[in-house]
Structure 1
Amino acid sequence: MPRTFTDLVRHALNGPTMGTRWSALFDASPATDPVPIRCALAESVGLLDRQMSTWKPDSDLMCVNRAPVGEWVSVPPELMEVLARGLEIGRLSGGAFDIGMGDVVTAWGFGPQHADPQAMRVALGRAHALAHEVLELDGDALRVRKHAPMTLDLAGIAKGYAVDRMMAVLGRFGITDALVGLDGEMRACGRRADGRPWTVALERPDFETRAPLSILELADCAVATSGDYRHWLDVGGRRLSHTMDPARGGPATGSPASVTVLAESCMDADAWATALMVRGARAGLEIARHRGLKAIFIERVGETLRQSRVGWMDRKEHPAAHSPVVDA
């Protein structure tokens, strides 16, 4: 008899990494041993954390940050891949996404150190060199060098890349239908055992509670959300988001409550969600149209939320009650 989805066993694996948790959900035959899969997933995300963390002084990224201007620094291939894509999206976004904002992130207290008011004022008043203008990559030799002082921070792209690597790990075990995630970044491959798409919640942008706003159905794509409601700083009674605007050297202002992007890779979805948050709803929608991105912008309008969507012709999205939808 042909095997049906009821013959399969659901596996839900997870573990700690990068200050949060990774997860993997898939169905497999009863003979599948999840232990080596869990170990391989944990090692894949652990490797990237050791390479790209700004919280680990001995990470490969921090070695680049400490290197003098003009000195070549060897980097592992995974870090090179993330740096290269980060610079490319920096160029494509006109500098809205910038991996060279580490000093600004630190000044505002979103890194390993507490906020420094003096450093905040310096960051706001200083011209900021964009990473794609001053960081040189030698992909063949796996080395990089800075042409101006700069501190790299990959918080807006590394987790998405880690999700992509997790999916690659599952592929090596012959698993072609799965949903993997790290924090708010998710990637789906294939479908659930019953043939339906994988479903993930689009979170309501609320500062106090965690609740779904709508449901997304995913098949062979990734999704990432950037928002102002999880990590923020209170300055004079005003909440300032952790999303940094390279143009002002501080938290982005005038941004929507959140931006969700769907893309083939989670690395791209992660970076573009940040870029569109920085640009704001109006300019961000135009960039998304121009770049062929699928995105949802959620704005606070008084006591209600408004969704604006672009590139959504071939995806199903179910708005929650009392959440007006404006098709972009």
Structure 2
Amino acid sequence: MWLLHSCLVVTVLLTQSSQCVLNFSSQESRLQLYEPVNVTFCFTQQLSKANLVLRSSDSSVVQLNEDEVTMSLERVAPVDNFSTLLTPLKIGYADLLWQVEDGLTNGTYNGIHKMCVVRELTAFSMGFGAVIGVLVALNNVNVGCQLDMRVVLSQVKRPIAPAIGMFCQFIFMPLVSYGIAMLLLQNAVTRLGLFTIGSCPGGIYSNFYTLLLQGDLDLSVTMTFMSSVGALALMPMWMHTLGRQIAGSAAPAVPFSNLMVSLVALTLPLGLGLLIQYKCPKWAQTSEKIVKPFSVAILLVALVIGTYSYW
């Protein structure tokens, strides 16, 4: 009988230790950067002389009032609500780690509550993004007016330079960014961020820099188009291979919609510029005079106002 009683007690304690004792108002707390908030929770069962300990898995991302918040509770009922103050300090992810000790049964319960810190998307930042998008599209029309399709087609037929660029863009840069991230960075989120940047295509702004620095504009546009198309397949490949090594069990998300928008934002204005060059050569000549000042203006606006908007 004594052995049977002991087995029953152990079984009850093991069952209790696997139960979820704390219930939060949401499965994940989504916090706005630098805006402290009280997260509310309650107990799912009645406890006596309970001791609750709360701490953040990464205090550099989300900070509590103390390194370890302790609450000593004489009696707890499921109808009782409690809260603790969370202070988001940095964009990223962290876990609210909790541990409950029941003084009556000597049972211990552990769990985590996920927290995500994001930057608030203000009307100013949304308006800035829309204005920059329109300006970039207009300047891509100017760039299209300067293209020589014979040179572009010759580079496509003998893609030696584009092949070198694609190799550097999608083989060399991802491997180098992965190596730097693993060697110099400790946080998994920043590691994944650096690796993602190294795996992304060059983007539309590279054409503006090429134009201002008197580089090969036809090659730059060809490379931008090819890298935007190639990113649809190569970026997911890197995210689901080396990206998983960094992120662990979480699957890194690939921004397919952003890649498609970038591709459309490149091809349509360039096509319109080529059409203007063919149908209205005088307009194309006028465009040649304003394309460089316009590019400088866009880059300055993006740098100055963009820094203010996302600071």
Give the TM interval when normalised to the shorter protein. under 0.3
User: In proportion to residue count, which structure has more strand?
Assistant: 1
User: In proportion to residue count, which structure has more helix?
Assistant: 2
Q: TM-score, length-normalised on structure 1?
A: 0.21
Which of the pair has more CA radius of gyration? 2
Q: TM-score, length-normalised on structure 2?
A: 0.22
